[in-house]
Amino acid sequence: MESIQSSLKKWMRENKNFKGHFIKIKQQLMASPEVAALKKQHPSLDDEAIERQLMKIYEYHSQSKRCEKCPSLSECINVLPGHVPHINVEGSHVHIAYDKCPRKLREDQQRKQQSLVKSLYMPKEILEASLDRVDLEEEKRSEAIERMVAYLENIKDELPAKGLYFHGPFGVGKTYFLGAVANRLSEKNIASMIIYMPEFVREMKSSIKDDSLNSKIEAFKSVPVLMLDDIGAESQSAWFRDEVLGSILQYRMMERLPVFFTSNYSLKELQEVFTTSTRGDVELVKASRIIERVRQVSEVVPLYGKNRRH
């Protein structure tokens, strides 16, 4: 059976159109500034060596080097989309290597950042929140904005041991603040998890059935930055308060891992919510213990302003 290479050479000899096109390509390459520069930089690369490796040099010559020939990353013209060729010469031998182009690097970084922000039942709008879209002019929110920006600017080699406890009325942007912080943390390659508390309670209860409760609790304990949205809105049970939430907060307090919260309640009001369980039991000591843990992992920040849900 005739080999592929010999068949291709035979086809090239017989196809006059291809032969003419190939000769034209060869002439253009030999006269191109790129080949002239190669010959100047590498004297060992003479015309014979270039002709012998003409297809490699054409591979390099015909591609986009700085995304200048590509309308977008999805329309990249290069052999390996999202990668730019680099030519290396060893003696009289030419080698082509590929590196990621600037657009591919940006896309990979964005995907990495997005992967660092995990969520449990959070709307897309919050996951795409940005500090750039936070209204900085509203006077009633100025203290909260200052505290949030100061927190992010103070992140050095280690995370601050305390997050922020945003509390205020409905619709003032507390949850949006969490999303904005999470995305800014992702730019610093810091992973976070945002949890909507009422759904979190339901998730934990259902996890008992499939034996995934412990593994989920461990994930919430150890994530670098935990964010609990709308704490106090969930239906309270002594089991969730003490065995789940209490366990997570205790671990993070001991390990000096920050927690961010949003709530419609001040800490004093939240303590009253935690005091009475769904069964009607009044447990002031256990509620106080939870509130003390909240204080240990966060700093209280009141957040007021106009209702943005209207």
Q: What is the pLDDT of residue 65?
A: 87
Q: What is the mean pLDDT of residues 270-299?
A: 88
Buried b (16+ CB within 10 A) or exposed e, 96-129: eeeeebebbeeeeeeeebeebbbbeebeeebeeb
163 has pLDDT over 90? yes
Handedness of CA 90, 94, 99, 101 (dihedral sign): positive
Give the pair of three-digit tokens for residue 87: 């030519």
Q: What is the mean pLDDT of residues 80-84?
A: 90
13 has pLDDT over 70? no
CB 287 within 8 A of CB 237: no
The secondary structure element, H or E, covering residue 36 is: helix 33-41
> Which ranges of 154-256 does DSSP label H, i.e. alpha helix?
174-187, 197-207, 213-222, 238-239, 246-255
CB 60 within 8 A of CB 76: no
202 has pLDDT over 90? no
243 has pLDDT over 50? yes
1 has pLDDT over 50? no
230: left (phi over 0), alpha (psi -120 to 50) or beta: left
132 has pLDDT over 70? yes
What residue spans in the chain does CATH classification 3.40.50.300 cover? 107-302
105 has pLDDT over 80? yes
* Strand 83-90 to 163-167 pairing: unpaired
Most confident of 155-169, 230-244, 286-300: 286-300
Q: What is the mean pLDDT of residues 281-287?
A: 85
Q: Which residues contact 304 (CB under 8 A, 6 or more apart)?
A: 140, 141, 168, 169, 172
CB 231 within 8 A of CB 297: no
Distance between CA 190 and CA 255 in Å, rounded?
16
228 has pLDDT over 90? yes
206 has pLDDT over 90? no
Which CATH number describes the domain made up of 107-302? Answer: 3.40.50.300
CB 256 within 8 A of CB 211: no
Mean pLDDT for all residues in the chain: 84
Name residue 234's amino acid: E
The number of beta carbons lying within 10 Å of the beta carbon of residue 25 is 15
In terms of Cβ atoms closer than 10 Å to its own Cβ (0-12, 13-18, 19+), residue 58 is middle
Q: What is the pLDDT of residue 6?
A: 62
Q: Of 82, 33, 25, which Cα lies nearest the Cα of 56?
A: 25
CB 42 within 8 A of CB 89: yes
What digits encode the pLDDT tens for the residues 135-144?
Answer: 766 667 788 8
226 has pLDDT over 90? yes
Q: What is the mean pLDDT of residues 187-211?
A: 86
205 has pLDDT over 80? yes
Buried b (16+ CB within 10 A) or exposed e, 283-292: beebbebbbe
Distance between CA 174 and CA 172 in Å, rounded?
6
